Amino acid sequence: MAIEYLLIILTSELMKDDKIAWVQCAKGLTICLVVYGHAMYGVNIAVGLNPIFFEYCNDFFNIFRMPLFFFVSGIFAARSIARSTNQFINRTVLHFVYIYIVWCVIQYAFRMMTGSVANHEIDPHAILYIAYQPINVLWFVYVLLAFFLITRLLRPVPFFIVLPLAGALAVTPIDSGSYSLDHFCGTYVFFLMGYYGSRMILEAAQRLKPIHAAILVPLYTAVTLTVIYADLRHVPMVWLACAIFGIFAMATLCICLSELHLDRPFRYMGSYSLPIFVSHTIATAGTRVILSKLGLADHPGFLLAGSTLGGVMLPILLAETCERLKFPWLFRKPSWFTINPPAESKGMDQRLADSSAHP
């Protein structure tokens, strides 16, 4: 525990440096690519895109965008995972649980009301299965919560045991029939990479220069496009190597953008990554349908750009509107959604909380 708290203090000191902006930039870049991917998928189904463009673009971003998102999430997870039991449950676990339940209901209601224009019909009984089968993009919140819970339980186990096992799990072909379980197995290693390597990553980021991004990003692009062309991305070890390469190439790019003060738009979007993630499929689909009704269905490129922009900006507008109306509960857990610990454990939890740094 002493080592873990030392890691938290060191990480908190590193966070004071302006270069920490690259993490927010990475979140913003990734969430944009997630929205773009879903917008592209919807436009391809609705009006069709060039097959070669769709295949290469979709496969290229699929390799690294969610691994990068989970990697970034893991970097600061140590602070949440090391909280007292009371704070971990109320500030981390219940936060994810609340967002998950609220947006499962909203996604379900939206999909039921728009079944005729949605990309896929939804099972009318889907709302009954959310305890183990997330609705739409809510698998991300479900899996991220599982990452936090399991990593906290595994704290006594050395990293040199947990990390290789997670890596082996990532390259093991698993087709359980559960979308969330398959994604958990395939991406847990990236979360752990950020979690266990947080101190080293934040220190190394301060030494990187734009020249590193100028080398790594084109090299990663060339290697990954070659892998896609050779139809090797479905080979587990090749996919894992490309995903790790992509994480570090794109993280270096974000560090470069921060160094050059070109990261403001991505940092802004990164600060709204959760609202965008949970609601962007509704926004992209709605924008695409509206643009099609306006007669733009014959312009796939414009439809794709408009759907992506709508998928990013409309959730931000919704989140800001909720804040201004003093009703932030679509994206923030209300104070009453809390589990109070037994009275005798409060003092111990408070002493533990006072001994560690909190975000």
Whether 358 is in a domain gets the answer no
Whether 344 is in a domain gets the answer no
pLDDT-derived band at 118 (thresholds 50, 70, 90) equals: low
Could you tell me if 288 and 311 are in contact, meaning their C-beta atoms sit under 8 angstroms apart? no
Could you tell me if 10 and 256 are in contact, meaning their C-beta atoms sit under 8 angstroms apart? no
pLDDT of residue 93: 96
Whether 179 is in a domain gets the answer yes
Whether 352 is in a domain gets the answer no
Taking the C-alpha atoms of residue 73 and residue 31, their distance in angstroms, rounded to an integer, is 12
pLDDT-derived band at 162 (thresholds 50, 70, 90) equals: very high
Count of CB atoms situated within 10 Å of the CB of 231: 9
287 Cα distance to chain centroid: 22
Which has more pLDDT, 138 or 342?
Answer: 138
Whether 351 is in a domain gets the answer no
pLDDT-derived band at 78 (thresholds 50, 70, 90) equals: confident
Nearest to 67 by CA among 196, 195, 243: 243
User: Poorest-confidence range of 102-111, 119-128, 317-326?
Assistant: 119-128
| Longest alpha-carbon distance in the chain | 67
pLDDT at 155 over 90: yes
Q: Once rounded to an integer, what is the mean pLDDT over residues 10-35?
A: 73
Whether 359 is in a domain gets the answer no
pLDDT at 133 over 50: yes
pLDDT at 297 over 50: yes
Number of domains observed in the structure of the chain? 1
Could you tell me if 142 and 100 are in contact, meaning their C-beta atoms sit under 8 angstroms apart? yes
Question: How far are the Cα atoms of 11, 63, 84, 228 from residue 201, in angstroms, in the given order?
Answer: 10, 21, 25, 29
Which pTM was predicted? 0.87
pLDDT of residue 116: 53
pLDDT at 354 over 60: no
User: Poorest-confidence range of 107-116, 160-169, 254-263?
Assistant: 107-116
Q: Once rounded to an integer, what is the mean pLDDT over residues 60-77?
A: 94
Q: Which two tokens stand for residue 238?
A: 């090749």
- Percent of all residues in the chain with a pLDDT value above 90, rounded to a whole number: 68
**Amino acid found at 111:** R
Whether 152 is in a domain gets the answer yes
The range of the structural domain enclosing residue 143 comes to 2-338
pLDDT at 314 over 80: yes
Which has more pLDDT, 347 or 189?
Answer: 189
Whether 345 is in a domain gets the answer no
What's the mean per-residue pLDDT of the chain? 87
Nearest to 92 by CA among 323, 263, 339: 339
